[in-house]
Amino acid sequence: MSKAATINDIIKGAKEYLPHLNEKRVMEAYEFARMAHEGQKRNSGEPYIQHPLEVAKILITLHPDEDSIIAALLHDVLEDTEHTADEIKKKFGDTVLPLLTGLEKLGKVYYRGEERQIENLRKMFIAMAKDIRVILIKLADRTHNMRTLQFVPEHKRERIAQETLTVYAPIAGRLGIYKVKNELEDLCFQFLDPENYKRIAKEMQDMTKTQQDIIKVSTRILTQTLKKDGIQAEVEGRIKHFYSIFKKMKRKEKNYVADLYDVLALRLIVGSEAECYQALGIIHKHFTPLPRRFKDYIAVPKPNGYQSLHTTLVGLCPNINNQPIEVQIRTNEMDLVSKYGIAAHWQYKELKGRSIAVPEDKLSWVQGLVELHESLKSNTEFLESLNVDMFKDRIFVLTPKGDVFDLPVDATPVDFAYALHSDVGHRCKGAKANGQIVPLNYPLKNGQVVEILTSPKVEPNRYWLSFVVTSHAKQRIKHWFNSQDKGNLVKIGREMLNGQLKRYGEKPLDPSLSLLKVMDGQKLGIKEREYVLEKIGNGSMDVVTIAKKIIPEAKRKTLVKAANNNSAVLVEGVKFDKKDEVLITGEKGFKTQIASCCQPKPRNPIVGYTTRGSGVTVHKQDCKMLKGLAKERLIKSSWASEKTHEFQATIVIERRSRIGLLRDVADVFASNHLPILELENMRHTGTDVGEMTILSSFDRPETMLFVMDQLKQIPGVFKVQEK
């Protein structure tokens, strides 16, 4: 165990990079915290003041400003003692208090999926956007808490370790502070999976001498090789941390650490960016690089600013195991960023370093999360988006001009288009990746150059919502539909609802929208009725659900029964003899044919017209041609059942191609004992989007509607309608 931190250690460490540090002010902060926590003890039994000292010691490794160090010493005073904000302000000024109040508002962040705990996550990212130092102090605080987790009651340990692994370690990584991230992950691993932790630790211990020998020999060989070609390099070696090794074993499906070939890494520090590439060429000339293991994070930096060349070499130590070794090549400035992450970008605005800021472009992703917080009302939505935008693995794609964009894994060209600009997303008609046309739902790959093709005639498609992964893209698409001209949305909603009413045998909506007058027992005014149509038009309300709400159940059953019986409505001014009826299958001896003028289909109300020598011609009851025909020749007609199925219908399914889609569609028809009489499956050129057209026969309209509802639930299907 390392030596306990003292206030002298803090001051000495800070003065190494803050030569004008106000020692008196820091000492006053320590004495104030010591007195405030007098009599309080940690779970370990040590005086409570030791915790803020350790937090300040951890924080100093990130080279914070003077106010941050003071805030670290005082970080628990407002929350755990009787002292007030006014006292802090009076004693230490206006610059420290915002850091402390930010920490106090942040509170204890839990991550277990509960509403109140997700709300704390929202607070965290708002605090990050306001002042990144608040989060750095919080990370230092959590690091010391994890170092002493063994003193916490056992029933709390797993929860604390899990939230640390889920929230704090990813944030440290996203900020580029890998030293903190790696330590947090290893500490969590130790408590969450002690069996595997001990196993890997034992295997690494058994390999330690060999690994150290490899590092020693490799360091000497690389240094000499580069020196011969005029490159002065500082070479460091390290063994990867346990949790990283464990994740790699799982990913590579290996059972033992010895099965991995890159648990070692060498770091080459050279004088300039040009020398990075020169050094790469030299070591590739003398040693064998593994294919597909080279990464250029200098040309394409990570979003947290990390830059380095990565390659994996074979043949560095032919006499010692000869295992592949990862080599990282960077400058001193790049190494600084790799160690301190976002803190390497501190900008001191005063000589004594009393003010501190980070370049805005380094924290743009944090601001994006704050905007997301403001736009999403649902905590569930916020958490889902956070998992993608914050904690998911990232890829880096480039514009044709070389600008780098950071996106989550599985991001598509549409996600990229909206990352460029909302207008680019709205007008996106296609994309090229490395010069090749790709579908809009194509998962982009790391390092690809992506060009978005746009057109002023293109508009967002609701189908995009089924494959975009970034919250920004989803919000922009939804906002576009919600902001469309109200009149247009009302018109779309009216057409959609009229289509459903027609299926139930109901008349279309009248100008005053009378059918929407009462819904769920409440009377709606004309503006409220139009609002319902608008919501149907933008997809916020389900048209089938609304149709069922405005048509009483008793009436729906009557309509279904009428449709099943296919009862013909009398043509105006014509009376039929009950015994005279044509069943349109010829079962009663009538020769029948379908009229070409109106081409009636099953379920249409029909009437027959007897012709000389040609039997009966069947018309729709509202056919205009009937007005010029002799009324005495009209004969009552209805559709007859054929076995158990009374009518045929064609269903059009708009879908995205995927393996198993056709099987899932066929299963819907088979489970309902319905035949597929005809099937046509078409794909739009250059995409995996297309239409599937199916002809089937149904016993009644309700069955068809039920089948259509089932088809809509199939993954990849985004629209189902009757042709």
Is residue 26 classed as helix, strand or coil in its secondary structure?
Answer: helix
DSSP 681-697: EEE-TTSSEEEEEEEEE
CB 407 within 8 A of CB 394: yes
Q: CA 158 from chain center: how many Å?
A: 27
DSSP helix/strand/coil, 239 = strand
689-698 burial code (b ≥16 CB/10 A, e <16): beebebebbb
* Residue-wise burial string across 101-118, b where 16 or more C-beta atoms lie within 10 A, e elsewhere: bbbeebeebbbeeeeebb
Residues that are catalytic = 79-80
- Neighbouring CB atoms inside 10 A of 72's CB total 29
- Alpha carbon 568 to chain centroid, angstroms: 54
Task: Report the DSSP pairing between strands 615-620 and 592-594.
Answer: parallel
CA distances from 243 to 135, 169, 295, 560 (A): 23, 12, 22, 63
**CA distances (Å), origin 648, targets 58, 82, 265, 616, 701:** 74, 79, 68, 21, 10
Tell me the C-alpha to C-alpha distance, in Å, between residue 553 and each of 504, 544, 596, 671: 11, 13, 37, 26
Helices (H) then strands (E): counts for the chain? 27, 24
Q: What distance, in Å, lies between the first and last C-alpha atoms of the chain? A: 75
537 within 8 A of 488, measured Cβ to Cβ: yes
* 3-class state of residue 395 by DSSP: strand
Q: What is the DSSP letter of 290?
A: P
Q: Exposure string (b/e) for 421-439, b if CB count within 10 Å is 16 or more?
A: ebeebbbbebbbbeeeebb
Alpha-carbon span 445 to 58, nearest angstrom: 37
Three-point CA angle 469, 470, 473, nearest 5°: 105
In this structure, what DSSP letter does residue 398 have?
E
What's the burial of 318, exposed, middle or buried (CB within 10 Å: 0-12/13-18/19+)?
A: exposed
